[in-house]
Amino acid sequence: MLRIPVVLLTLLAAGCASTPPGQDPVQLKLAELDARVARMERAGASQVELSQRLDEVQASLRELRGRIDELEHSNEELRKQQRDLYADLDKRISAAGGAAGAGAAGPAGSAAGSAGAASPGAAAAAPAPAPTGADNGGGGAPAATTPSSVEQAVYSQAFDALKAGSYSVAITGFKDFLGTYPTSPLAENAQYWLGETYYVNRDYEAAAGAFRTVMRKWPDSRKAPDALLKLGYTQSEQKQYAAARATLQEVTRKYPGTEAAKLAADRLKRIPTQPPAPAAQ
């Protein structure tokens, strides 16, 4: 009778020993739940991080859009200025060509106020009996009224470079011409178009100097009104608004009823009356 309980206890102990603890269904379920919770926490952390990064990217995009808008506005302003600049130059060059044709047909008229009276051949066509007023440094020696073929060729090369947009070549050509033929009838034209070339090339300091030279050496020439007008333009581009207004008002006062006076009056309307505010530090 005592042997039966002993056998049963032995079998139960063997059965318990044969079932490993890791195979407990409850423990397996708990382990599975722990793993799922850990995965959900990691996923939640990733989503938070992703949301933060998305906010940062959107903020960067907004900043970039703002900068792009500013750049587009600035580029549009620059394009408008460039269109105005080249339109003005094209008008002057076209008018210069027209003046050359008119001069070949008859005596040159009084074109002191024309925005583009000079041309490669305009001075040659004008049968003016007096010298052009070129300053030869001697104070009294008269200049020839007709340029030589060599002078005309050298001048035309520089003028053609200007029309072609080769501004550095044009500047060199006009400066060489003025250095070699300072008393030529084409000298005042060369000096004026040197200023125009500097102006189109946005070298405003050099342009202002060139236009002042025209007014100093040839104050009564056909290019004097244009030089004074473009000096005012140059001062405006340099933001010297008070000086620009004074110069342009001088154009309207000295040359009333001319094209130069009309252009000066139009530019005066667009010059700020107050100096620009200083940039914030």
Distance (Å) of CA 266 to CA 74, 125, 218, 253, 256? 24, 32, 26, 14, 13
The answer to whether residue 6 scores a pLDDT higher than 60 is no
Asked if 123 and 147 touch (Cβ cutoff 8 Å), the reply is yes
Q: Which CATH number fits domain 80-268: 3.40.50.460, 1.25.40.10, 3.30.70.260, 1.20.1260.10?
A: 1.25.40.10
The answer to whether residue 169 scores a pLDDT higher than 80 is yes
Q: Whole-angstrom Cα distance, residue 41 to residue 62?
A: 32
Beta-carbon contacts of residue 198 (< 8 Å; ≥ 6 apart): 171, 204, 206, 207, 210
SS3 at position 2: coil
Q: C-alpha angle 269/271/275, rounded to 5°?
A: 145
- Report residue 146's pLDDT band, with 50, 70 and 90 as the boundaries: confident
Asked if 120 and 152 touch (Cβ cutoff 8 Å), the reply is yes
Closest listed residue to residue 193, CA positions, set 156, 220, 219, 149:
156
- pLDDT tens figures, 57-84: 866 666 676 667 656 555 655 666 666 6
Alpha-helical regions (H) of 18-112: 25-105
Residue 112, both tokens:
């002191």
Q: Whole-angstrom Cα distance, residue 220 to residue 214?
A: 10
Task: Break the chain into its structural domains and give their ranges.
Answer: 26-66, 80-268
Alpha-helical regions (H) of 181-258: 187-200, 204-217, 224-237, 241-254
pLDDT value of residue 140: 34
pLDDT value of residue 35: 81
pLDDT value of residue 113: 35
- The model carries a pTM of 0.54
pLDDT value of residue 133: 35
- Report residue 102's pLDDT band, with 50, 70 and 90 as the boundaries: very low
- Measured on CA atoms in the order 248, 263, 251, 91, is the torsion positive or negative? positive
Q: Whole-angstrom Cα distance, residue 29 to residue 87?
A: 84
